[in-house]
Structure 1
Amino acid sequence: MNEVFARGPSLSTRLAIVLVLSLSAMLIDTKVDSFATARTYLNSFVSPLQYIANLPGAMLSWSAERFSSRQQLLRDNEELTNQITLMSEQLQRFRILEQENKSLRKLLDAPVRDSMHKMITELMAVDTNPYSHQIVINKGAIDGVFLGQSVLDDSGIVGQISEVGTTNSRVLMISDVTHAIPVRIERNNVRFIAVGGGDLDAMQLQHVPHSADIREGDVLVSSGLGEIFPEGYPVATISKIVRNESRPFAEVIATPLAKLDRIKYLLLLWPEESAPTGAIAPDEVLSDEPQEENTEAAQ
């Protein structure tokens, strides 16, 4: 095997031959102008070999660039996904805030008699006793809350203050079995006593004669008797009347107008002469129009 590879001119001879050929080619290229055409053909012949020689490096660069682009796309996609998640959470909070803002504005726009001041309060807790309909609000004695004070939502009377603490208070709702409120029919001013039935969706009218002028759909408002609730605030609508002549009185069921099962913000009422400093006067009802006018005037 070694003898086969050892045949032929020696390495020194080969080097000398290559040098002579190279020098001759350079001399001919310099002195002979017509050799430029041959050089062009030679370059054309060798150029595919150059492309083939550069192909591995080009493929490696292309692969690296593609890999880098893919990694960048993955990072961008992850970042965009995180942004979408954060924006979705913010959008949910904004929707909740928007709904709360609408509820508060609707509550502030609730009709209040000219002599009454008001203050917004928020639900803190609900009594877990299934036989008691009571809630706790975040206003107390330091805010001027007093026993028997009227509590409303944007639709009607919710109940009255039954216990007062320093910073919170307990509200007895009109649906509680121990609660009673003097009412009158808005249509004809016939007066009754509405008592809670232990159901958020039902109240009962006591001692209603069979001959009483009362109809399903009649609106009951506070009569003002007893000096607990101000006169004229919505309480309930008549939903069912059963006149059984074998019984001394008709059975009358009313549905509270206040949304007792979805309370969040409530309104406390004070007479003008006893309103605390933080209460809102009737002429201070907030609305969008005055704010827009003030903005235009400022501009």
Structure 2
Amino acid sequence: MNTIFTRGPSITIRLVIALVLSVVLIVADHRFDAFSSSKVYLNSLVTPLQYLASLPEQMLSASASRLASHQRLLHENRELVKQATLMNEKLQRYTILQQENNRLRKLLGSPVRQDMQKMIAELMAVDNNPFSHQIVIDKGAIHGVYEGQSVLDSKGIAGQILDVGTATSRVLLIADLTHAIPVRIERNDVRIIATGAGRLDELLLEHVPHSADVQEGDVLISSGLGNVFPEGYPVAKITSIVRDEGRPFAQVRAEPMAQLDRLKYLLLLWPENAPKQPVFAEEG
């Protein structure tokens, strides 16, 4: 019996066509950045789905908070009061030291460092790709977030903004294989480049001479070079040094200060020369 409708291309031909189109689009995006504006709109379209995906977790977290015992809340409150008292004492000393530092900088003719504007962001999603270390946060273009912006946690630098959507942004962590950050040793100001090792608990220090004054336990802080990360924030601590004379450089590894495997709340920084300014939600 003859069929009414003619048969279309086979599944194999359809697959080949799809693969060819995919390769062409990937090359066009990589070589000519042809879809930069489209990615922003697509990211904006996906934003509601990201919020819906995080909704069950938020509901479970809220329910768990309500089940916390009264005694536990009282204990946490006492500990927070103690910590606040200690932090206030440190803040008083810090304010005095900052004033003295500003006066010394004026005497030496050095520019006084200005305070940066800051905003708290919350983790929404983690990239499941084992070869990429990226996360999604709940702040985007409507909050003044921009590409290349520094992102910190409570311990140190965590990464920088990679893509910006309307209400969400994608962060490239410092542990990613494609990431590099200029740092200096806090003890002696030796400058090094720290790159991601593809693991959340490890960074690699590139091109360190065998004669360099580098020691295990040295703290690495951002050097400010490259105009991406502000100067003076903790980045990592050196954990191992292997000086093999058969290699041109020493093999130096470090552990990130930021707790990249347990990120929850993050801090966005706006330096004085930032291309955008933060947009804070109005309290009402």
Q: Same fold (TM over 0.5)?
A: yes
Higher helix share: 1
**Residue 91 of structure 1: aligned partner:** 69
Residue 165 of structure 2 corresponds to residue 171 of structure 1: no
How far the C-alpha of 1:90 sits from its partner, in A, is 4.1
Q: Which residue of 1 aligns with 2:157?
A: 157
Mapping of residues 1-299 of structure 1, within 5 Å: 89-91=67-69, 114-272=114-272, 274=274, 275-278=277-280
Q: 1:114: how far off?
A: 3.9
Report the RMSD for the aligned CA atoms in angstroms. 3.2
Identical-residue share of aligned pairs (%): 64
Instruction: Give the direction of change, closer, same or farther, for the CA distance of 1:205–1:89 in structure 2 (3 Å limit).
Output: same
CA 1:209/1:122 → structure 2, altered by over 3 Å: closer, same or farther? same
Q: Deviations over 1:13-63 (max 9, x none)?
A: xxxxxxxxxxxxxxxxxxxxxxxxxxxxxxxxxxxxxxxxxxxxxxxxxxx
How far the C-alpha of 1:276 sits from its partner, in A, is 2.0
Uncovered stretches (5+) of structure 2, i.e. residues with no partner: 1-63, 85-89, 95-112
Alpha-carbon distance in 1 for matches of 2:175, 2:116: 24
**Aligned residue number for residue 97 of structure 2:** none
Q: State the match for 2:106 in structure 1.
A: none
Rounded to whole Å, the distance in 2 between the matches of 1:156 and 1:263 is 12
Structure 2 equivalent of residue 17 of structure 1: none
In 2 relative to 1, CA 90–115 (structure 1 residues): closer, same or farther, beyond 3 Å? closer
Determine if contact 2:183/2:194 at 8 Å carries over to the other structure.
yes
Contact between 2:219 and 2:237, CA under 8 Å: does it hold in 1?
Answer: yes
Alpha-carbon distance between aligned partners in 2 of 1:88 and 1:140, rounded to the nearest angstrom: 30
Separation of aligned partners in 1, 2:197 and 2:169 = 23
The CA distance in 1 between the partners of 2:138 and 2:219, in whole Å, is: 31
In 1, distance between residues paired with 2:273 and 2:217?
36
AA at the equivalent of 2:67: E
What displacement does 1:88 show? 8.2
> In the aligned structure 2, how far is the partner of 1:88 from the partner of 1:122?
20
Name the CA shift for 1:241/1:261 in 2 (closer, same or farther; >3 Å). Answer: same
Secondary structure, in 3 states, of the residue corresponding to 2:69?
A: helix
- Structure-2 separation of matches of 1:271 and 1:265: 20
- Residue by residue over 1:101-154, the C-alpha shift from the partner in whole angstroms, topping out at 9 and shown as x without a partner, is 96xx9xxx999x743110000000000001110000000000000000000011
Provide runs of 4+ in structure 1 moved above 4 Å. none
Contact 2:142 2:279 in 1 (8 A): no
Q: Letter of the aligned partner of 2:195 in structure 1?
A: V
1:89 to partner: Cα distance: 1.9
Distance 2:217 2:156 in 1: 16
For the residues of structure 2 that align with 1:207 and 1:87, how far apart are their CA atoms? 48
Label 1:142 to 1:87 Cα distance change in 2 as closer, same or farther (>3 A): closer
Partner of 1:11: none
1:196 corresponds to which letter in structure 2?
G
> SS where residue 198 of structure 1 aligns?
coil
Size of the aligned set, in residue pairs, is 188
Post-superposition offset of 1:271: 1.4
Deviations 1:43-84 (A, max 9, x none): xxxxxxxxxxxxxxxxxxxxxxxxxxxxxxxxxxxxxxxxxx
Rounded Cα–Cα distance in structure 2 between residues aligned with 1:181 and 1:138: 24
Shift of 1:91: 2.4
How much has 1:177 moved relative to structure 2?
Answer: 0.4
Per-residue CA deviation, residues 170-194 of structure 1 (Å, 9 max, x unaligned), is 0000000000000000111110100
Distance in 2 (CA, whole Å) between partners of 1:184 and 1:216 is 14
**TM-score normalised according to structure 2 size:** 0.60
How many Å separate the matches in 2 of 1:271 and 1:246?
43
Q: Deviations over 1:253-290 (max 9, x none)?
A: 000000111100000000135432429xxxxxxxxxxx
Give, in whole Å, the separation in 2 of the partners of 1:241 and 1:185: 14
Which secondary structure does the structure 2 equivalent of 1:132 belong to? Answer: coil
Match of 2:41 in 1: none
Change (3 A) 1:266 1:227: same
